[in-house]
Amino acid sequence: MGVRPGWQGRFFEDFEIGDIYQHPLGRTVSEADNTWFTLLTMNTNQMHFNSEYAARSEFGRPLVVSTLTVAIAVGQSVTDLTQNAFANLGWDDIRMTHPVFAGDTLWSESIVLEKRESASRPHAGIVTVRTRTVNQDGKEVCSFKRTFYVYRRDAEQVEDVFPTAEQPLTLED
């Protein structure tokens, strides 16, 4: 019996070119998600929040804000890709390939394209991935390349981050 660490995320050494990670959590986008994101980002395009206006479009209903779709895709990938990252260096080739509507469920997966050691930060490396997001019907709705700094396993920045409790956890508690 003892402390068993939970999932710690991947470190630079764990990434291999060609590895594919199917991120474990799907996310159904609600109308409230879309409305809140529209308000938070000050997006005033009525295609995202005005049903009467959107009904006149070829889609016939409001579209989910594309930046919300990208944000969900990035969030879905964190557990596999950037749990131990400390900086995003860029997003490239962002493509919105199919409309997203309230009620759609999104899933994302990523493939490792490149990795290299950092010349200026010996405690880290640089990884580039391509992520794509599909809806419940398997239609790709978005894709992009993403490059980030990620710590090495032995980086001092990731050592002993869990605080020591004043009282140990026991079966009797």
pLDDT in tens, 108-138: 999 999 999 999 999 999 999 999 999 999 9
Residue 157 falls in which region: left (phi positive, over 0), alpha (psi -120 to 50) or beta? alpha
Q: Average pLDDT in the 31-55 region? A: 95
User: Average pLDDT, stretch 55-69?
Assistant: 96
Could you report the per-residue pLDDT of 137-166, keeping only the tens digit for each?
A: 999 999 999 999 999 999 999 888 888 889
Name the packing angle between helices 31-40 and 66-77 (round to 10°).
Answer: 100
Contact 64, 48 (CB under 8 A): yes
- The pLDDT confidence band at residue 169, using thresholds 50, 70 and 90, is confident
* 3-class SS of residue 114: strand
The answer, yes or no, to whether residue 1 has pLDDT greater than 90, is no
Q: Does residue 173 carry a pLDDT above 80?
A: no
The predicted pLDDT at position 154 comes to 92
E strand or H helix at 112, and its extent?
A: strand 105-117
Helices (H), 41-108: 51-55, 66-77
Ranges of beta strands (E only) in 119-166 are 124-134, 140-151
Question: Average of pLDDT values for 67-74?
Answer: 97
Q: For each of the domains in the chain, give its residue range(s) and CATH number, in order of start.
A: 12-154 (3.10.129.10)
Mean pLDDT of 70-77: 97
